[in-house]
């Protein structure tokens, strides 16, 4: 209760336009700490995102080329379709490298802290690290689900465990079903653009 009250008070005291992130974590003695540097190697909460984030992830700018060089480079290294990566990035963060979801997913590819650690991403807000880690994770899912795009996307959104729990089917989660449709829509649009 005291922690919730402290977090609420902190949120009220902060200005609405905050540009430095604030993170909280509990140390081995049970003491809650606040820091402006994402703690490496421990679970933490994003209290204030590093930059204001867009709440709406719907995009109309399919022609955003800001991260194309990184997408192409890392996609080639892992043998992943760059159009798929760009479609996922559009659906996940709308090309905002500072995006943070209410569940704690971070950066362009919206990596959860555990996923970021799995793919050796130390700074999820660094576009190069985030894209490289996101593509590495997509490649792992591609191998796990034998190239089945719907299962790959379902696992990226809801976690691979959920897909496996549902006997290698898309879990019956409305958000996940909508996410798959949205990514496939962007993906097909990008592929058509590249063909013309």
In DSSP notation, 9-20 reads HHHHHS-SS--S
Task: Just list the catalytic residues.
Answer: 92
Strands, E assignment, the chain: 22-26, 32-35, 45-48
CA 75, CA 85: separation in Å to the nearest integer? Answer: 8
Q: Which of 164, 166, 167, 157 is nearest to 137 (CA)?
A: 157
Q: Is 93 exposed, middle or buried (0-12, 13-18, 19+ CB in 10 A)?
A: buried
Q: Which of 87, 103, 128 is nearest to 53 (CA)?
A: 103
CA 127, CA 100: separation in Å to the nearest integer? Answer: 14
Query: Could you give the 3-state DSSP secondary structure of residue 108?
Result: coil
Structure-block tokens of residue 55:
């709440």
CA 116, CA 179: separation in Å to the nearest integer? Answer: 20
């Amino acid at each position: 209760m005291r922690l919730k009250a402290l977090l609420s008070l902190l949120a009220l005291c902060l200005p609405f336009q905050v540009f430095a992130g604030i993170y909280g974590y509990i140390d081995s003695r049970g003491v809650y700490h606040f820091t402006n540097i994402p703690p490496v190697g421990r679970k933490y909460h994003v209290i204030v995102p590093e930059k204001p984030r867009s709440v709406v992830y719907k995009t109309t700018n399919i022609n955003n080329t800001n991260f194309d060089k990184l997408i192409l480079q890392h996609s080639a290294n892992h043998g992943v379709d760059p159009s798929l990566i760009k479609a996922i990035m559009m659906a996940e963060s709308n090309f905002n490298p500072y995006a943070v979801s209410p569940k704690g997913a971070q950066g362009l590819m919206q990596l959860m802290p555990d996923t970021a650690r799995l793919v050796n991403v130390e700074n999820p807000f660094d576009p190069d690290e985030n894209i490289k880690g996101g593509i590495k994770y997509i490649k792992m899912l591609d191998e796990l689900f034998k190239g089945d795009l719907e299962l790959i996307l379902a696992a990226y959104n809801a976690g691979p465990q959920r897909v496996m729990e549902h006997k290698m089917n898309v879990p019956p989660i409305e958000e996940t079903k909508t996410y798959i449709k949205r990514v496939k829509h962007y993906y097909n649009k990008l592929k058509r653009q590249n063909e013309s």
